[in-house]
Amino acid sequence: MFLTLIFNCNIYCQKVTDNITKCDLETIKNLRIHKDSLTDKLMTDFLFSVDKSCQNNVEWSEASNWTLFWLADIGTEKFIDLLKTNQNELDIPLIINEFKQPVNDGIDLIGIYKKIEKLNDKSDLVIKILDSIKSAAKGLGLEIK
């Protein structure tokens, strides 16, 4: 069974990398299954599956939004590095916009903000993400200092 999972993931991951599959909940399921051993490939596959064409898919939209915050929380440095490394191929404006609109009030915006801020990365991308999280927090009545 484990070999079947690896084989299927290899086929699936190739499809995502080739921009054939978007809005596929399997990318999120794979992240959750492997939460204790997240690889760059799993995270990148998810990031490449985020697309504007998914906006009308409510289940995908909610799950992907939560997943962006979750990855920023549990793998902050790796997550930011992957965004920066792939920013020319990813839909960065959409991803930044997702950080402005958390779908779950239970997301620890202040904690995630502080983790990203602690990286001391002054790139435009990171500043935009921080500004988006700060905007989301303000909309929920939270203050990030």
Greatest CA separation for the chain: 49
Chain segment 49-85, per-residue pLDDT in tens = 999 998 889 999 999 999 999 999 999 999 999 999 9
Q: What is the pLDDT of residue 18?
A: 52
| Residues composing the chain | 145
Question: 134 vs 16, which has greater pLDDT?
Answer: 134
Question: 12 vs 30, which has greater pLDDT?
Answer: 30
Chain segment 108-134, per-residue pLDDT in tens = 999 999 999 999 999 999 999 999 999
Indicate the pTM of the whole model: 0.83
Q: What DSSP designation does 72 have? A: H
| Least confident segment among 9-13, 35-39, 76-80, 106-110 | 9-13
Average pLDDT on 28-47 reads: 93
**CA-based torsion, 96, 90, 29, 37: positive or negative:** negative
- Domain range annotation of the chain: 2-139
Q: What is the pLDDT of residue 20?
A: 39
Helix 2-17 with 25-33: angle, nearest 10 deg: 130
Q: What is the pLDDT of residue 12?
A: 38
CA 114 to chain centre: 17
With a cut of 50, say whether residue 14 has pLDDT above it: no
